Amino acid sequence: MSEKYFNKFFIIFILISVLIFFEGFFYYFSYKFSYYFDIFDRKRSGFNPLIWNENGIIEILQVILIFFSIINFIYILKELKKIKPRLYIKFILYIYTVGLLYFFFEEISWGQHIFGWESLDFFKSYNNQNETNIHNISNLFNELPRSILTLWCSISFIIVNIFSKKIKNYFLTKFLLPSNKLKLISLYLLFILIPDFFVDKMNLHPGHSEYSKFVLISDILDFITFNFIKLSEYQELIFCYYILYHSIFFRKFLCLNENEKQSKT
């Protein structure tokens, strides 16, 4: 999947997202539509468990995307022997790969989602979902990695554009932004993030009241902030999509760099 295919796959990702939004909207507000149309279930609201629950469609997609990202970075780490970048670059790449592995294994609860073992007593006591993972034990292990991922996937292109002249290592610059195509994903992520961030920080949401057939302020805010879907999970899907293409573009950069070296010898 080189850069020439990126636009096609990005459009496909957006179209799939539109379907997710469409389904999420009618599922979330099903009880409200039921007052006007008999085909809707008045008892149904919230998020479709088939799509948003643990081992649901969104989580499976996340795991698949991260898995292929890890494969790409394993290849990249092997190529470092030929390229021989500076020591701190090697350190950054190894830490990044370890971070991807952590992300991957946390998403599958270190294999519990696949093999279905029972959690140890420690995780039953301290994990708020009784699962074998760390990120559900404390907000520190959940919100801090999420914040880092948010910054990485949304503003890397801004950092490179501002500090490109000050980042003297070309290899590091390419790691931060191996292709300007990634900017499209970043801008889309910001489009999804900013409304919810603004409403949350301004404390504009009045909270959810009783079910009503009328359109309430809370309904409008849920709509414009995309909270008619499980927004945190969808954001993670965008993270995974960005990380996959970052790994593809960076691997391509290494291959081109290596081919240029060989052509000169």
The predicted model gives 243-256 an average pLDDT of 93
| Residue 83 domain-assigned (yes or no) | yes
| Residue 84 domain-assigned (yes or no) | yes
Which amino acid, 263?
S
pLDDT tier at 112, thresholds 50, 70, 90: confident
Q: Residues 153-195: pLDDT tens digits?
A: 999 999 999 988 788 788 999 999 999 999 999 999 999 999 9
Q: Residues 53-105: pLDDT tens digits?
A: 988 999 999 999 999 999 999 999 998 888 888 899 999 999 999 999 999 99
Number of domains in the chain: 1
Q: Residues 121-157: pLDDT tens digits?
A: 888 788 888 888 898 888 888 899 999 999 999 999 9
| Residue 26 domain-assigned (yes or no) | no
| Residue 69 domain-assigned (yes or no) | yes
pLDDT tier at 259, thresholds 50, 70, 90: low
Domain extent for 212: 57-264
Mean of all residue pLDDT scores within the chain: 90
**Higher-pLDDT residue of 262, 239:** 239
| Residue 19 domain-assigned (yes or no) | no
| Residue 129 domain-assigned (yes or no) | yes
| Residue 148 domain-assigned (yes or no) | yes
pTM exceeding 0.95: no
- 236: closest CA among 169, 150, 171? 150
| Residue 38 domain-assigned (yes or no) | no
